[in-house]
C-alpha cells in the first residue's frame, strides 16, 4: 500500500489523470482498496524491472445504479520510473480479461485531459473507442481540462442480453 499511495500521490500532484487536488494518505488508499476488492472487483499491481511496484490498475462500478451493473470503469496508474515500458498496457489487458471472466459486458475509461495521449493511445491499442469529450470539466494546474471518455465491449458485449436475474461475477447477490 505505501507504493500504491506514492504512485497515486505523484499522479495527483503532477498529472491530470486524477482530478483530485490533494493526495490521499495511506489509510484512505487502504479504504479505497478495500472498497474495491470486498465487492469482488479486480485490483492488480505490477512490478517494474527493478523489482519495485511499477503500477497498479483496478476496475470498479461505472455507476452504482443497478442498470449499470454490467459496465465497469478502469483506472491505471504507473510510477514515473516505469512509464514508457508498456506496463499500463499489460495491466489494462489483464484487467480486461479478469472483467470478462467476471461476466461484465463493457468497460469505460475516463481520461483526465484531452492531451493525455499516452493513455488515449494505450486504450486505443486495447480496443477502446472514443465515445466523447466533455470540455472544461476540471480545473487543475492553472488550466481547464477536458475529460475524454472511451469504451470497449467485454465478452459478448451487447450481442446478447444478460440474464436479468443474475449479476456479473460475485459482486451482487442473485435476485
**Closest CA relative to residue 150, chosen from 99, 175, 116:** 116
Fold of 2-153: Aminopeptidase (3.40.630)
Residue found under cell 461476466: 103
Give the model confidence (pLDDT) of 71-129 as tens digits: 999 999 999 999 999 999 999 999 999 999 999 999 999 999 999 999 999 999 999 99
Q: Where are the domains of the chain?
A: 2-153
Beta-carbon contacts of residue 79 (< 8 Å; ≥ 6 apart): 3, 6, 7, 10, 48, 52, 53, 54, 55
Give the model confidence (pLDDT) of 135-170 as tens digits: 999 999 999 999 999 999 999 999 999 887 777 766
Tell me how far apart the alpha carbons of residues 51 and 110 are, in angstroms, rounded to a whole number: 29
pTM over 0.75: yes
Amino acid at each position: 500500500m505505501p507504493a500504491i499511495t506514492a504512485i497515486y500521490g505523484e499522479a495527483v500532484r503532477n498529472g491530470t489523470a486524477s482530478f483530485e487536488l490533494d493526495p490521499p494518505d495511506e489509510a484512505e488508499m487502504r479504504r479505497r482498496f478495500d472498497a474495491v476488492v470486498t465487492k469482488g472487483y479486480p485490483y492488480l499491481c505490477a512490478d517494474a524491472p527493478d523489482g519495485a511496484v511499477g503500477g497498479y490498475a483496478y476496475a470498479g462500478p461505472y455507476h452504482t445504479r443497478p442498470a449499470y451493473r454490467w459496465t465497469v470503469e478502469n483506472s491505471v496508474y504507473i510510477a514515473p520510473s516505469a512509464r514508457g515500458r508498456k506496463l499500463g498496457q499489460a495491466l489494462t489487458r489483464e484487467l480486461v480479461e479478469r472483467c470478462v471472466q467476471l461476466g461484465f459486458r463493457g468497460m469505460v475509461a475516463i481520461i483526465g485531459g484531452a492531451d493525455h495521449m499516452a493513455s488515449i493511445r494505450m486504450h486505443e491499442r486495447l480496443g477502446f473507442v472514443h465515445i466523447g469529450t466533455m470540455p472544461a470539466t476540471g480545473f487543475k494546474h492553472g488550466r481547464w481540462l477536458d475529460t475524454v471518455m472511451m469504451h470497449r465491449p467485454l465478452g459478448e458485449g451487447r450481442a446478447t442480453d444478460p440474464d436479468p436475474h443474475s449479476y456479473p461475477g460475485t459482486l451482487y447477490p442473485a435476485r
